Structure 1
């Protein structure tokens, strides 16, 4: 199935069709990664409401009042930019899976697909008749991915969960924030995104295996499990009986490797090995620091991190951030960088030079910005071609691709399986 003729010819996942039954971020970002690599991703959404992420805001953006094409805005306030960032280059259909004909339409769609992704609470998909066993009956080489907060086994398996909860259970919050402060949530939906990347990785692996064996597979992962491997150095300390703690921007095993205040902002400094440490001391005109017994080696600097912070903070406060970057990064080639706010991160000379932020035509909004994903191939293409879909924008087109005629589509409307036009 290929409803949209895009520019992604040569994408790694060309000719792969993904049925996305997920809501919010975890599944959405996983299928976004697949769309970026050329897969056709079809969101199956609740009639009238759609993905919960469509209602995440404010802010909202009002569509063109003169737009009269297919699909519509799900929220009375307009379109959510947060929704855009997780749903570029996807298609949207509205199926009421609690009706028999809506469920049959989904089965027809899955029969032509390669991948299904769902993030219901364990047991929900089976109750709806869209579990792995149900869908494998219509597509025996299907790759089916189930995502939940805590996985399908264990004493927490029936609990609901969101990123905030899993940032807590995974230990991430315990090592995030100021040393003398409370546990702090990472400012991004980090465990959602971590889990999404694991899911996309697993799906591509299962598709590769299918190419070799002809067999589909079922993947099952929990957000809590997915976050734990990212603890790395903190887990390493715990494995030998030490308790990792909050350290602000400091690092538990490297120094200097943290944020320092400048005359007008902040500077990140990562000059932890001996060569870089010596070069930093020379560049800031403090060569005696390299000879100080407290700072002689990296273990010494870690042991005396507070004293080191005091010395370097006094130096870096003497100049603005840009001057330090010019001197240390540009002139001396040292690993230092400014701390940007989000608008500056999205709009600076490096981001612009890499073409990371683009604009995509949107039928009801004119254009919308898009953050491209970072993989650049020598012998394949990647990137987004289509705007995030309006709710139900592609329902009729996809049903037509499945062989439904106008009479069939009217029947689905009469049954309440799809909304009225």
Structure 2
């Protein structure tokens, strides 16, 4: 019995050594896949893509080994109800193969790809398509054709966006009750005063006369300042910051705090007036304009009942739209990047993905290739 166990272990060891040699040797082959297919999954899967269908192989420079679905190398995010999966790789991660549904989608070939590795992978489960963002600003979209993954369009076209303008800092005095060239003032609305910075301007200090009420910390400037006048003659200041967070000054203490448990109910309600979605849009210089028809009837800006904005580890912004909202205009840095026209027919936007680090925006539709927008280096301030 003992000899049988030893023999089995020896066979397994020989197989592993042979497989690993073949695996490493394939790195030097120009036309072969990086990983060998070992007779799995010739059948076509007809259901939606699930996490178990996705196999991601990474290479460790430190240990010189290959691992499948090593979640220490990337983050995985699911968008409800499991309609999309997003993989964000660590800066030092080297993804060398992507398999979906037991079928090879992409493999690293040294002579062909060089230093090109995936940065993000976006999988739409129902449509069965995959978009891969590479670290050289290339974006490829894949779909299942005849039971094989194929590239829909090699290097997708890039459309140039205007850069984010340089910030000019403003010291706001709340005794000013009028609009200026630097900010817009709105008052007399349910005891709320609102100051919105214009264009490149950002709020650095909020004061009342010579008294300083709030000052930005660590260059976290504000896009908007809301002043709430409560029934108890107190004022509440909420500063909407560029990084998507809020700074709160309360009860004449004017210290930055996230929340105040003993705040009056009316104050707590006012603090929730502006949703996180609006803040995330403002932080990333986005506007979403929706209408009732292609002629722009009843336009609404940032109607958060029609979409949800999610920020992921401060690396990207993800917008997921409700089903079949067609009449949409997307604006970034005050420039329209996409707008519905009659020629679009039944096409509608499903989601938008923005990656600030490489200035890339990808817009996904229900039944056509995504649009990729990229701010070119020469346009960066």
* Superposition TM-score tier, normalisation by shorter sequence: under 0.3
Higher helix share: 1
Structure with higher RCO (Cα < 8 A, 6+ apart): 1
Q: Structure 1 or 2: larger strand share?
A: 2
In the superposition, the TM-score normalised over structure 2's length comes to 0.24
TM-score (structure 1 length as normaliser): 0.22
